[in-house]
Amino acid sequence: MTDHPIIALWSHPRSMSTAMERIMRERGDLDSLHEPFMYDYYVHRRVRIMPHFEVQKDHPTSYEAIRDMILDRARKAPVFFKDMSYYVYPHILADTDFSARLTNVFLVRDPIASIPSYHKLDPDLTLEEIGLEAQAHHFDALAARGQTPPVIVADDVRADPEGVIGALWQRIGLKHVSAAFDWQREPPKDWAQVGGWHGDVSRASGIRPLSPEEIAQQERKFDDLARTEPRLRALLDHHRPFYRHLAAHAIGPGGAERLS
C-alpha cells in the first residue's frame, strides 16, 4: 500500500490557523485533523490544564500513539493536520523518520495581535504557550537539515487569501481549488472538543481582510491591556523577535520569500 503525503501546518495560538485549517478542509481532498498533538501536551503529559477543552475519550494521547494514528491514516489518503510546535518540540526532531515524512508549513501572526486574543480566552497563558519561540526553533532545525519549510503570515493571508495560499499550494504540490475560499461545509465535528476557541471561524464563510483602522487598533488594544496586565509586555518582547525571524521567510502571492 502506498503511503500518501502528510502536510503539517505548524502554528501558534490565535494565529488564524483554524481559518487555514478550514480552507484546507474545504478542498475536499485531504483527511484533516485538528491539533492531534495537543492530547500529548495537555492530556498525556499534563503540562497544564487547557481551558475550553472537552477531551475525547477515544483520541490517542501519547506522542507515539498520535504519530502512529497519523501514519495509519496516511496509508489510506493524503493527510493534513494543524498543530502547535510547542506541543512536540523538541522531541519530534529526534523522531527523524516521522519528521522526514512531513511536508511542513509554518503560519505566524504578529504577537501584538495574537497575545490579547489568547489572553481573552486564557488569562493564565504561559510563555511557552505564546508559541512563537518553539516555532522558530522548530523551523531553524528543519532548515539546518535542508528541509526549509515555507512560511506564511496571517496578515498577508487576510489581505489576499487566494493569492498567498495559492502560492503555498504551488510550493507544496497541491492543486489550486478556488472553491476552498468560499466555505460551504459544516464546521468540522472535531472542533466541538475546543468549541470555545473557534466560535468566529465556525460561523464565518471565508477570511475577511482587516481594514487599516483595525490593524492600527491592534497596537492600541495591546497597550490598553498591558497597562492592567504588565506581564503581557514581557511576553511580547520575548516572542516578537521570533515572529520577525519567521516572517522574514514568508512567501507572498508570487511565491517569493520576503528576504533571501
Would you list the domain boundaries of the chain? 6-247
Task: Return the percentage of the chain with pLDDT > 90, whole number.
Answer: 73
Q: Using one digit for the tens of pLDDT, what is the confidence trace for 73-118? A: 999 999 999 999 999 999 999 999 999 999 999 999 999 999 999 9
| Mean pLDDT (whole number) for 157-184 | 93
Q: Using one digit for the tens of pLDDT, what is the confidence trace for 34-67? A: 999 999 999 999 999 887 778 888 999 999 999 9
How many Å apart are CA 132 and CA 228, to the nearest integer? 23
Q: Are 208 and 215 in contact (CB under 8 A)?
A: no
Architecture of domain 6-247: 3-Layer(aba) Sandwich (3.40)
- Residue 26's beta-bridge partner residues? none
In terms of Cα–Cα distance, which of 65, 58, 76 is closest to 6?
76
Single-letter amino acid code for the residue at 203: R
Q: Cell match 472538543: residue?
A: 193
In terms of Cα–Cα distance, which of 46, 69, 51, 32 is closest to 190?
32
